[in-house]
Chain A
Amino acid sequence: MIRLVLSLFIAGCTMLTASAADVYKLDGENTKIEFTGAKKDGKHTGGFKTLEGTVTNDGGWKIELTIQTASIYSDNPGLTNHLKGGDFFGVKDHPTAKFVTTKIEKGEKGMTVRGKLTMLGKEKEISFPAEITTGDTFTLKAEFSIDRTDFGMNYAVDKVEKSVALKVEVKAKK
């Protein structure tokens, strides 16, 4: 009986240690999401200041991220207000954007992250190459593009490019 209790206790401790060890909290400080939008005669950069999420390893790696769209910023204050409005993110009606991975696997170069991105109430499966390291610190670096019209962001498609370049950098400690 004592053996059973002890082994259950040890197993419980091991499970707790494993789950605690494999959770990384994401926030606006350790996770940078920046975008570059291009138009015919130039481009603009920006990003999101407030976000939260987790990276977990429960047999497989999983990333869950919620972005507060109202925290958007750009290199032009007028543009920031325009981006918050209904022409682009409509942050009053769609205050969050979400990304949840469905699979992280080895790709040709580094890893390939697959997941569902939800913006403006529309969900779309996306995938992108990423450099990932794990240990005490989880790091992820990725540069890829998404088509904004996939999410119903159809403003001025003839003037502003549909493709938006994204740069993601994560450096989260356990």
Chain B
Amino acid sequence: MSIQSKVFTKRGWWNWSGTWLLVVLAFLIVLPFLIKSGSLSSVIEMMIMSVAACGLNLMIGYSGMVNFGPAGLYAFGAYTTALLLVNTNMPFWFAMIAGPVMTAIAGIIIGWFCIRLTHIYFALLTLAFSQLIYTIVYKWYGFTGGDTGIVGIRVPDLLAPLNHYYYFTLVITFVSIGLMWIVVHSPFGKVVQAFRENPERTESIGVDIKRCRLKVFVLQSFFLGAAGSLYCGFNHNVFANYAHWLKGTEFILSCLLGGIYNFFGPIVGAAVYIFLEQLVISYTEYWPFILGIIIILLVMFLEGGLAGFISEKFHIIRMRYDDTQG
């Protein structure tokens, strides 16, 4: 048997996707030597955004609940890290971990209220909480720096050069996404998808839906907070804008652009979104117009997002190849 057919048989499917993963990882590791630092900066942003988007997709894609206020949680993580680094002598790694952990705790509280609701009410309550966080950050001038934010946040010398922070982000992104992959493919993940499809049936087999929803909410909060902390370390600053609902739409769009029904969708979506934005902005100031058109095309014609579309095509190719192999 040739290597090719081993890669494409049903049993070997994992090898195929595993190989792709190694290729991508290898590419990312050598990337700093291939491209300019400006573009490396964008890639770091893509990675951070993909962590946030994947986390958000745990709610939107996997459990079918629309969180319309991810920005509040994202900012919560960023501000936790920032405030610890500025006001205390805690080491950097501690502040980095405290970000997602504190956001997860906030997620327990906020989630407890939100998961009692469904559909549009859930979305509206998440929005309300996100805007409340924004308001508190904005007004508590003495503590959070208000609308002028906090700048010049200290980062250890080891992580100061862009390349080093890139590898740091790469590791954390990989670990985060790996963790999410494990969750999604665990029995818990299957239950979550079950109650997205049919809540009544799932409940009838004895699953405590509220508890499941809360767990997903907390998980999502953790990863959103992690993304926020990473961004704080990257930019050496935090601003109230991090919590504004418009920032949240960027995460939602990344998920949708990539495809909410595909695990890698949000990652693809985050990369494409940031790439498109930077490209279009360098030519014109009317990026919102272009984005509006992209959104309309996306919703009307490409429901599965880019990753969904690609995986559909690959599936067809694979099926055809399997058929010809006999």
Q: Do A and B come from one complex?
A: no
Residues in A lying within 8 Å of B, measured CB to CB: none
